[in-house]
Structure 1
Amino acid sequence: MKKTNQMKKIIYAFTAIALLSVGQSCKKDSEFLDKQPTNVLPIDAVWKDPNLVLTVMGDLYDRYPDNQTIESWASFAVFDEAFASAGGDYFRHQNIEYGYDAWRYWDLGVYGYIRDLNMFIKRGQESTQLKTEDRDRFLAEARFIRAGVYFEMVKRMGGVPLLTTPLEYNNGDNVSNLQFPRSKETEVYDFVISELEAIKTILPDDPTIQSRATKAAALAMESRAALYAGSIAKYSNAQLTLPGGEVGISSALANGYFTKSLNAAKEIINGGKYTLYKKNPTLSDNFAALFTDKSNNPEVIFVKDFKLKTNKVHGFTIDNQPRSSAEEAQGGRLNPSLNLVQSFEKLDNTYASLASVDASGNTLYYTNVTDIFAGRDARLAGTVILPGTAFKGKTVDIWAGYQLANGTIVTGDNFAQSKTNVLPGNAGSVQVVGGDGPIDGLEFSAQSGFYIRKYLDPAKGSGQIGTRSEVWWVRYRYAEVLLNAAEASFELGDLAAAANYIKPVRDRAGLTTALTPAQITFDRIVHERKVEFAFEDHELWDMKRWRLADKVWNGNNMSAADFINATNIGSATRTSTQVFGLWPYKYYDPGNANNGKYIFKVIKPSKVTAAHRFRLGNYYSSIAQEVLNGNPKIVRNPNQ
């Protein structure tokens, strides 16, 4: 904590903010968004009234940390999952190296949040005027949030000072009494896991509660945290440790953590209260609807919710809707990369490039613009708006121009859909580029050849500034529980169990030939999480815990040859340092059998000018200088 902050006695109070859902009783999941704001809430008054406690609880939930999120679309363009098609965000593809302070989460504000949680817990434990069941639930929720905050800190920073009681400073006190060293990385993970174990049976075991902590939410967090700790223990090395254990976990602890992860996942699975979302017979539409359907959704475990009637909404759909059919004159900012799109395997469980040429390098021609994507994992079209597919009932118009027989390209440089007399022998106005592009360097056009679908709101008005979207942000869902169980089983050597856990996730995606136990490899585990959890704030943390980040984002430039007839698509260490795209063109050669068919070209947007590099020093974010200045007991992270 910063010394200037320590020279003040911190007063326990919250400015309450109305958030999360609707309702009145402290028993329901739909209570937060209709709560009326209250100014400063004296502690004695708060713990006399469950509705006031609930309002404070709402503020604590609202401050829960996320890294990538639908409230900040550009955060998804940082790790080559997508291109940021907005002029002010091109810099994301022009950085050579990630900064040491990237994804940092340790400052005075964080420990202010921790202190608020600790004080809330302390005062709640002292209270006597609430019903026991209400008080205990509130306290368990606060401990759940606190565990989540420490989990966010440890996965970014390594070991941090582990404070579980509120600190007070009075004039004349010895400041050194408020200075604590960093706990070991394993101690923070152990705290998170033990807290979640302790509260799981206190929290409601109710799958209809999704924006507040439940037994399943606690178990899902426990499973994820233990899996992260186990991976760090297994895959780390001496370069990523500190002598005091502030960074690094002994490999001897790996199986213990994997076992805890598996047991927590199995407790949810065996409880039978959650299932994969399977409401829509069209598999790609079903996968997309998983993230937008808030009515009896059996897969969602814990979310950040939004509500139109309380004006707690976000602009993800406004920012990213297809430009040609947008409800406002904006959209198209997030363009999924060919790097990601090509990762989705074929329905026969094999990996293959999207075929723009044959094995001899000859151009391939397609009758329909969607044909090149046929026979792929349904999650592809559920995650990405592909050329020729629809959103809100309107077909996206993605094609880059005409290619003439002599190789000349005829195209446009803006969203205007027609030019005059531009094709040989063709009189009159002819459209020469898609209404969505792609047009290189034109923001909001599909510069990679794709738009994002995941989290886009299909509701009318969601793409309008005056309305916006109430689609929730899903933090934990049942598919992750299954894949956590699969990975933990794999790491513990039980390949048959791993195959069984991964099977329903792949079945839902249309991959109906089950993987055999012998086919469950580390590469398969990495691949499955990549395609299932794209744009869900998993990629960075998975690459970090597996110690793959410096290998995947290795600073080496890429070329079209890395995508054409590639042979290493399913490799966990496949380089992905620069965003590439796939552009469809209409072939123009009247009289030729291929006239009017589509060809495809692998391209690199011109705004992609440098390769991302993840260094050893990026595995743990740097500690801010103000923190180091205020506490001499804090040691720096390694390799910085």
Structure 2
Amino acid sequence: MKKIFRTLLYVTTAVIFFSSCSDWLDLTPTDKITDKAVWENESSVDLYVNGFYTYLHQYSPFGTAQANGNMTESLTNTFKYGSYSPGHKAGHPNEYVFNPDLITTQTGGFYSVWSDAYNKIRRMNEFLDAMEKYGAEYPEAVKTKWEAQVRFFRSFIYFQLARRHNGVILYTSLEEMTKDKARSTNEETWDLVEQDIDFAIANLPEAWTGKNQGRLTKYAALAFKSRAMLFAERWQAAYTAADAVIKSNKFELVDDYVQAWKGGNSEAILEYKYDIIGPNHTFDKDYVPMSDGWEFGGLGTPTQEMVESYEKEDGTQMDWTPYYTANATRPPYEELEPRFKATVVYPGSTWKNKVMENSVNGKNGTFMAYREQPMSYGHTTTGYFLRKLMDETLIDVKGIPSTQSWVEIRYAEVLLNKAEAAYRLNKMSEAREAMNQVRARVDLPAKSSSGDEFFEDYRNERKVELAYEGHLFWDMRRWELAH
């Protein structure tokens, strides 16, 4: 979100009071008290709602809910965890990609969120139930804004379930959750996702002020709808939602791609901020090269397959064939387009004032054979390290937690969502225009393709633009390119 969350403890019947800072969405936990007591104070209810905002963190690459804490790109050929140890941010995600027979009833829950999601749904339904019981004294406008935020997050969690399962069990009230229910159809599941988003769109403000800055807005809900409806294959709904965000003129691409995912700018539509005293995260500690003085980084690294997805600065494809041999010279990485350099730490690039070698016995960046060690120990098994999403200003990685923001939705994604929906609706000129706006930011020439050729161009553009932001695996599933 666009203002910092300091600390948060959310339990089912907790009350957490605002601190004295008036211009942050700032959280300080206290002991549990009764559900009824929460509703005796409007600030307490606000803080109750704030508890649901942590779901953005938990389901981000900085959290642990999405795939047991692993980057979901490790379920594609674009990111590799190098160790042989199974478990958290270690060897086995890649094994699922290359050997699906390893997915059994014991291991198949790797990216399952079933229990976690329904716990969260219960909490949100508890809130809505309590609002009916204890919220009569509050103005309808205030209650409607609370409900709109909670229903957005209920939609967000059902979305996590829906893109994993072909229909799920739908609970929209606390009473329902005490009863056995059959799974709903896929269509019914997406109906509820859309209904909750539409309620949020209709009832959230365009902007918040003061201490409420950073809360959900109408445009965040519209942007999320443009994403969700692509998964639902409701092309017109996705198109209309994306188009509404674009035509609002509230957002624009930042000039420098390096700043695009950092938040606090014109591109960030839905953002969650962190703070040094909490909440914070360990993303840098997990993925930095060992040259940072922390021996347990480099857990996962970008692959050559991902590197070859980038075009050259003139929009043509690089011929990588001469560089596949053992005695080959270093590829001319500098010829690749700017997004590559902003995303990948490659041999010869600079990382925190060090020229990276990324080679066997390299001083700055050391190569380790895939699955050679139980942990990666800050080494690379691909010849590359991740740059994107990292905090290059963080020097003491071992001692200081990471605080860079998570941007859940940015404007570039909305443009790409519109491009895909327009393509599905046979609006080819609009599809090209939206995609080419994203390319123009990094001075790549416009694409003029159409039909299947356009969709191939589009898939690669989305892969590159949104690299390592948690999209690719799920996009491949809905395109039926991944299991």
* TM-score, normalised by the number of residues in structure 1: 0.65
Once the 2 structures are TM-superposed, how far is the Cα of residue 81 of structure 1 from its aligned partner? 1.7
Q: Which moved more, 1:450-459 or 1:339-348?
A: 339-348
Q: Residue 313 of structure 1 is aligned with which of 280, 304, 326?
A: 280
Once the 2 structures are TM-superposed, how far is the Cα of residue 119 of structure 1 from its aligned partner? 2.2
Query: Secondary structure, in 3 states, of the residue corresponding to 1:38?
Result: strand
Once the 2 structures are TM-superposed, how far is the Cα of residue 168 of structure 1 from its aligned partner? 7.1
Kept in 1, the 8 Å contact 2:15–2:44? The answer is no
Q: Residue 344 of structure 1 is aligned with which of 267, 287, 310?
A: 310
Distance across 2 between alignment mates of 1:68 and 1:116: 20
Label 1:23 to 1:391 Cα distance change in 2 as closer, same or farther (>3 A): farther
Kept in 2, the 8 Å contact 1:210–1:300? The answer is no
Q: Which residue of 1 aligns with 2:259?
A: 289
Q: Which residue of 2 aligns with 1:496?
A: 429
Are residue 545 (structure 1) and residue 474 (structure 2) matched?
no
Are residue 79 (structure 1) and residue 76 (structure 2) matched?
yes
Distance across 1 between alignment mates of 2:474 and 2:94: 20
Label 1:37 to 1:139 Cα distance change in 2 as closer, same or farther (>3 A): same
Q: Residue 112 of structure 1 is aligned with which of 119, 127, 130?
A: 119
Q: Residue 531 of structure 1 is aligned with which of 455, 464, 468?
A: 464
Once the 2 structures are TM-superposed, how far is the Cα of residue 357 of structure 1 from its aligned partner? 4.6
Once the 2 structures are TM-superposed, how far is the Cα of residue 59 of structure 1 from its aligned partner? 2.1
Distance across 2 between alignment mates of 1:375 and 1:540: 27
Query: Secondary structure, in 3 states, of the residue corresponding to 1:302?
Result: strand
Are residue 374 (structure 1) and residue 382 (structure 2) matched?
no
Q: How many residues align?
A: 448
Kept in 2, the 8 Å contact 1:275–1:298? The answer is yes
Distance across 1 between alignment mates of 2:20 and 2:476: 40
Kept in 1, the 8 Å contact 2:61–2:70? The answer is no
Kept in 2, the 8 Å contact 1:205–1:214? The answer is yes
Distance across 1 between alignment mates of 2:334 and 2:450: 28
Label 1:288 to 1:355 Cα distance change in 2 as closer, same or farther (>3 A): farther
Label 1:17 to 1:503 Cα distance change in 2 as closer, same or farther (>3 A): farther
Q: Residue 384 of structure 2 is aligned with which of 447, 450, 456?
A: 450
Q: Which residue of 1 aligns with 2:290?
A: 323
Distance across 2 between alignment mates of 1:156 and 1:362: 41
Structure 1 residues 409-424: aligned runs within 5 Å:
412=361
Once the 2 structures are TM-superposed, how far is the Cα of residue 87 of structure 1 from its aligned partner? 5.1
Label 1:137 to 1:24 Cα distance change in 2 as closer, same or farther (>3 A): farther
Query: Secondary structure, in 3 states, of the residue corresponding to 2:31?
Result: coil
Q: Which residue of 1 aligns with 2:242?
A: 265
Kept in 2, the 8 Å contact 1:115–1:167? The answer is no
One-letter identity of the residue aligned with 1:457: D
Q: Which residue of 1 aligns with 2:180?
A: 179
> Structure 1 vs Structure 2: percent identity of aligned residues?
27
Distance across 1 between alignment mates of 2:37 and 2:405: 32
Once the 2 structures are TM-superposed, how far is the Cα of residue 487 of structure 1 from its aligned partner? 0.5
Query: Residues 40-98 of structure 1: CA distance to partner in whole angstroms, max 9, x if unpaired?
Result: 23222212212211222222222458556123564343322212134532333444116
One-letter identity of the residue aligned with 1:437: T
Once the 2 structures are TM-superposed, how far is the Cα of residue 451 of structure 1 from its aligned partner? 0.3
Distance across 1 between alignment mates of 2:339 and 2:357: 21
Label 1:94 to 1:502 Cα distance change in 2 as closer, same or farther (>3 A): closer
Kept in 2, the 8 Å contact 1:48–1:129? The answer is no
Show structure 2 runs of 5+ residues with no match. Answer: 1-10
Once the 2 structures are TM-superposed, how far is the Cα of residue 207 of structure 1 from its aligned partner? 8.5
Distance across 2 between alignment mates of 1:213 and 1:465: 34
Label 1:445 to 1:122 Cα distance change in 2 as closer, same or farther (>3 A): same
Q: Which residue of 1 aligns with 2:8?
A: none
Distance across 2 between alignment mates of 1:210 and 1:505: 28
Once the 2 structures are TM-superposed, how far is the Cα of residue 222 of structure 1 from its aligned partner? 0.9
Kept in 2, the 8 Å contact 1:437–1:446? The answer is yes
Q: Which residue of 2 aligns with 1:7?
A: none
Query: Residues 535-581 of structure 1: CA distance to partner in whole angstroms, max 9, x if unpaired?
Result: 111112111111111xxxxxxxxxxxxxxxxxxxxxxxxxxxxxxxx
Query: Residues 3-55 of structure 1: CA distance to partner in whole angstroms, max 9, x if unpaired?
Result: xxxxxxxxx94345799xx8755xx6x31xx3221222322221221221122
Once the 2 structures are TM-superposed, how far is the Cα of residue 344 of structure 1 from its aligned partner? 0.8
Distance across 2 between alignment mates of 1:210 and 1:335: 36
Query: Secondary structure, in 3 states, of the residue corresponding to 1:52?
Result: helix
User: Which one has the largest radius of gyration?
Assistant: 1
Q: Which residue of 2 aligns with 1:479?
A: 412
Distance across 1 between alignment mates of 2:43 and 2:430: 45
Once the 2 structures are TM-superposed, how far is the Cα of residue 347 of structure 1 from its aligned partner? 3.0
Q: Which residue of 2 aligns with 1:199?
A: 200
Once the 2 structures are TM-superposed, how far is the Cα of residue 338 of structure 1 from its aligned partner? 0.4
Kept in 1, the 8 Å contact 2:302–2:384? The answer is yes
Query: Secondary structure, in 3 states, of the residue corresponding to 1:37?
Result: strand
Are residue 506 (structure 1) and residue 439 (structure 2) matched?
yes
One-letter identity of the residue aligned with 1:526: R
Kept in 2, the 8 Å contact 1:161–1:180? The answer is yes
Q: Which residue of 1 aligns with 2:92?
A: 91
Query: Residues 171-226 of structure 1: CA distance to partner in whole angstroms, max 9, x if unpaired?
Result: xxxx8xx1111111111112211221222132121289885321111111111111
Q: Which residue of 2 aligns with 1:58?
A: 50
Label 1:164 to 1:23 Cα distance change in 2 as closer, same or farther (>3 A): farther
* TM-score, normalised by the number of residues in structure 2: 0.84
Label 1:210 to 1:517 Cα distance change in 2 as closer, same or farther (>3 A): farther
Kept in 2, the 8 Å contact 1:64–1:149? The answer is no
Coordinate RMSD, CA, aligned: 2.8
One-letter identity of the residue aligned with 1:114: I
Kept in 1, the 8 Å contact 2:197–2:221? The answer is yes
Once the 2 structures are TM-superposed, how far is the Cα of residue 466 of structure 1 from its aligned partner? 2.7
One-letter identity of the residue aligned with 1:49: N
Q: Which residue of 1 aligns with 2:320?
A: 354
Q: Residue 266 of structure 2 is aligned with which of 292, 298, 321?
A: 298
Q: Which residue of 2 aligns with 1:141?
A: 149
Query: Residues 120-150 of structure 1: CA distance to partner in whole angstroms, max 9, x if unpaired?
Result: 1232245133344432221110010011111
Q: Which residue of 2 aligns with 1:156?
A: 164
Once the 2 structures are TM-superposed, how far is the Cα of residue 380 of structure 1 from its aligned partner? 0.9
Which has the larger share of helix?
A: 2
Query: Secondary structure, in 3 states, of the residue corresponding to 1:227?
Result: helix
Query: Residues 365-394 of structure 1: CA distance to partner in whole angstroms, max 9, x if unpaired?
Result: 4xxx5x611332211111111111122233
Kept in 2, the 8 Å contact 1:227–1:261? The answer is yes
Label 1:18 to 1:101 Cα distance change in 2 as closer, same or farther (>3 A): farther
Label 1:101 to 1:521 Cα distance change in 2 as closer, same or farther (>3 A): same
Query: Secondary structure, in 3 states, of the residue corresponding to 2:152?
Result: helix
